[in-house]
Structures are given as structure tokens and as C-alpha cells.
A and B are shown apart, each in its own frame.
Chain A
């Protein structure tokens, strides 16, 4: 190989006084920035495939059990889903402002915008928690506790004004309530093959939304750390890779939700309420 040598760009170290700005194995801050950025994009690529396995399973079972999937989707409340979609979009906007502040070197503004992002994220999770709590009342958690007959009946009652909390005293705890569904409901489920199919829908619903929520919680943790660093002026217009990376990550998490919302909530909307 034909090679000549030039003096290693040691100058890059000296140009910027801050030691943390350039790790020893990079030649320049640009190289470091590009590497960090590309690394995040690559990570998000694996994330797409990670969710992709679940989306593939969803597609297959949606195709096989079309009718039941629509009915099961109808149990979910599209209004809450829509509100959450808007909340998340707002959090993406505040995140974009956080990255912008980092580019401009406004440390305190980074903290403020990330804080706003966490607030919107927390609001999303709060609404989600409320939904899941209601789901537990309907016995749609895909455990041995699942009961399709009960869920449809109680959902219809709820829609017709009996109130959501009229399920009586048999409910214990959040998810894993002991066998509280009357025996005739269990009996009815065991004779109905559609119950298993609906359980599949709810399995996909809970696994995808909880995987999504897990990603948000991880995002909170990363943002909290970045806020501490930003508070002490760690990031400069030369070095803000972590802020930009968490921004990419957050937009990705939002984007996943943009796909989940129609697939899970709007599938049965045309059936109308109460079915």
C-alpha cells in the first residue's frame, strides 16, 4: 500500500480547550460528531427491526383474524389514543427546540426544553396508565385472567352509560386479579375460538405499547442525565452529540407511536361504539 504520513492532527486537541470535547481516538470534532450521529441512526435501524418482528406478527394475525381484531380494537378508546398522539407530537416539538438550543450553545434553554419534553412524555404515560387500568377492569390483559365474553359485555355496558367502574368489588389490584370472572364467563370463553384470537390482539397491543412505553422511560433517564450536564454548561456548539442523539431517539419513539395508533386504535372505528 502506498502511504505517506502527515503529522497527526494533534492540533485538534489544542484548538478547543475543553478536554471532554474530543476523545483521544478521533482526529477532529467533526469526525467525532459524525460518528456519534451515524451511530444513533444505526441504533434506530435495529430498533425498527426490533419492533418489526411484532409488526410482522400483527400483520399475519390481522389478516387471519380480521373480524375479531376489529372488534377487539373497538374496545380501546380512540379519543384517548388521539389525545396521546397530539401530546407526543408536542413533546417532539419541544425536543426539536432542545436540540436547536444546543446548537446555539444556550445551556439553560436545553434544560428547559428537555424538561418540557419530559412533562409531555409523562402526561402521555399518565393517560396510558389510565387506559391500562381500565383494561384491567375489562379483563383484557392477555394472561390467564383474560376473558373476552366479560370484556365485550362490560365494554358495551360502559358505552351505554352504566359507568366504567361498575364492575363490583371483585377487582383486586392492577393486573393480576385472581379468578374473579364468574365461571359461566370462563365457560363461555372456552367454547368460543374467537376469545383466543382476541387475546392475541391484546397481547400485541400490550406488548407493543409497553415496549413503546419502556423506550420512553429509558428516554426520560437519558434526558435527565443530559439535563444535569447541560446545567453545568457541558455542551457547546462544537460538542452536542448527546443532545442530538437523544433527539433522534425521541423522534423515533414518537414515530413508532404514529404507526401504533391507527393499527391498534382505529382498526375497528368503523364498527361504531358499543360493538
Chain B
């Protein structure tokens, strides 16, 4: 199980990009942190989620 914003999800083995595609998040407008470290955009399709990982995902909007 992987904790995403405090909720346990069964997404072990998926990359961050694969997981985000299953959600409402717009992958171009999010910040992702894994186990306390910011994940650069270029690694979303490389980082594979493992049992016990903790993710924070937050969407950004650009209006004012």
C-alpha cells in the first residue's frame, strides 16, 4: 500500500505517472513529493511506487 495525501491506496508497482493518470489531477499542474522529497516532473514516469511509500500530491491553478 502507498499513502497518498494520507489515504492508503493499492498502487504499488505503478509509476507516479501511471497513478496520476488514474486520477483527476492534471499532470502538468501538480507538485509531487515522495517520502519527503520533491519528485521532479522528469521522473514521474521513472519512479515506481513501493509498499510503504508516502506521496503528497497537490494541484496548482494559475488565475488571479
Q: Are these two chains actual partners, yes or no?
A: no
Interface set of B (CB-CB < 8 Å, partner A)? none
